[in-house]
Amino acid sequence: MREGVTRSRRRGSAILLACLLVLVAGLFLASLAVGPVLLSPEEVLKALAGEGTETARIIVAEIRLPRALLALMIGATLGLSGAALQGLLRNPLAAPSLFGAPAAAAFGAVTVISLGVVDALSFALPFAAIAGALASVALLILVAGPRASLLILILAGLAISSLAGAGTALALNLAPNPFAALEIAFWLLGSLEDRSMRHVLIALPFMVAGAAFLIWDRRAFRALTLGEEAAASLGFNLTGVRLRVVIGVALGVGASVAVAGTIGFIGLVAPHLMRPFVRYDPGRLLVPAALSGAALLLAADIAVRLIPSSGEIKVGVLTALIGAPFFIALIMRRRHDLSGAAS
C-alpha cells in the first residue's frame, strides 16, 4: 500500500513539474510576443532562430529576450528564496521582502550609484546590492536569535527595512543632481524595461550560486518540520543551514535588485500557491516555488505591457498591488495561529 502511495506521489510531482514548465515556457514566448508591436508565436520562433524580418529579430532578440530572461530568472530566484526562508523559519508568511532584504539591497546599490562610484550597468552593482542584502539578513537573524518567533522576525525586519529606506532616502536627498535622483527613484520601483543581455550576464552567476545554496538544504527544511531541536538531533548542523540560507537569499535577492530594482511579494505568493501541490513538504516545495515565481513575474511583466496607461506601469508596482492584498488575506486566514504565536 505504502509503495503504491509513494509511486503515485512521484508521478504527481512529475506531472506538476511538467505543467509548470509548460506554463513558464508559454509565458516566456508570450513575453517575447507582447508589446507595442504584437508578434505572432510563429514570428517569435522564427526571430529566435535568426530568421524572419530584421525588425522582428531586433525586437525579439535585443529588446524582449533580455526582459523575458530577467523575468524568468528573478521570478525563480524570488520564489526559491521565499520557499527556503519559509522552510528555515517554518512559517508560510516568511519572505525576503518582509525582512527588509530587498530594501537593504536597494540601499547598497543606491549608495554606490549616488556616490558616483559606478554606473547602473557595472558588475560592481550586484556586489553592493548583495552586501546590503547579506547585512540585512544577517542582522535579522542576529537580532531575532535562534528561536525567534515570527513576531520578532517581522518587527526586526520592519526596523531593518525602515533603516535601509532612510538610508536610500538620504542618498536621494544628497544626490548630486535632480536627474540622478529621479533615475534612482524610478529604478527603485522595480522594472524590467529596457534591460540588455548585459544585465542578464551581471545577475546570472550570483543567482545560480544563490540557488545552489538554497537547494542544498532541502532535506534540512524537511527535518525542520519537527522543530529545531529534533532537526538537529537528526544530524543537521543548523548553524550551517542558517548561514547557507542567509548567503543564498542575499546572493539571489541582491542580484535581482541590482538589475531590476525592488520587486516584492513574489517570494511570498509563489511558495504559497505551490504548497498544496507538494503536500506541504518544505523540501519538495523549492523547485515548484521557483517555477511558479518565474511564471508569476513573467505574467506580471506581460500585464504591465497590456494595461492601458500613459506610461508603462512598473512591474514592481504591480506585484506589490496584487501581492499586498494577498498578504492581507493570508494574515486574516492565519489570524488564529498568529495571535497564539505573538503571546
Partner 1 sequence: MNPPEKILTVSGLGVRFGKRAILAGIDLAVSAGEVVAIVGPNGAGKTTLLRAIAGLLPAKGNIEIAGSPVGKLSLAERARRVAYLPQGHVFHWPLTAAEIVALGRLPRGAGADLSEADRLAVSMAMAATGVTEFAERSVTTLSGGERARVALSRVLATEAKLILADEPTASLDPRYQLIVLDILRRHAKDGGAVIAVLHDLGLAARYADRIVVLDSGSVAAAGAPRDVLTKALLAKTFGVNAQIVTLVDAPVVIPWSVT
Chain residues that interact with partner 1, rule: CB under 8 A: 2-3, 5-6, 10, 90-91, 219, 222-227, 229-230, 232-237, 279-284
Pick between residue 126 and residue 283 the one whose CB is nearest to partner 1.
Answer: 283
Report the residue number, 9 or 57, with the smaller CB distance to partner 1.
Answer: 9
For 328, which DSSP code? H
Q: How many CB atoms lie under 10 A from the CB of residue 160? A: 22
CB 286 within 8 A of CB 83: yes
- Measured from the CB of residue 338, what is the shortest distance to partner 1 in angstroms? 14
**Least Cβ distance, residue 273 to partner 1 (angstroms):** 16
Task: Specify the residue, 169 or 226, whose C-beta has the smaller distance to partner 1.
Answer: 226
Dig out the grid coordinates for 226 from the structure.
519537527
Question: Could you tell me the three cell numbers for 334?
Answer: 492565519
What is the smallest separation between the CB atom of 302 and partner 1, expressed in angstroms?
33
State how far Cα 274 lies from the chain centre: 15
Task: Report the residue number, 231 or 250, with the smaller CB distance to partner 1.
Answer: 231
Report in angstroms how near the CB of residue 307 gets to partner 1 at its nearest: 37
**Nearest in space to 220 (alpha carbons), one of 233, 201, 202, 206:** 233
Query: Rounded distance, CA 222 to CA 227, Å?
Result: 10
Query: Which residue lies nearer to partner 1 by CB, 39 or 223?
Result: 223
CA 107 to chain centre: 17
Nearest to 80 by CA among 232, 219, 249: 249
Least spacing, CB of residue 235 vs partner 1, in Å: 3
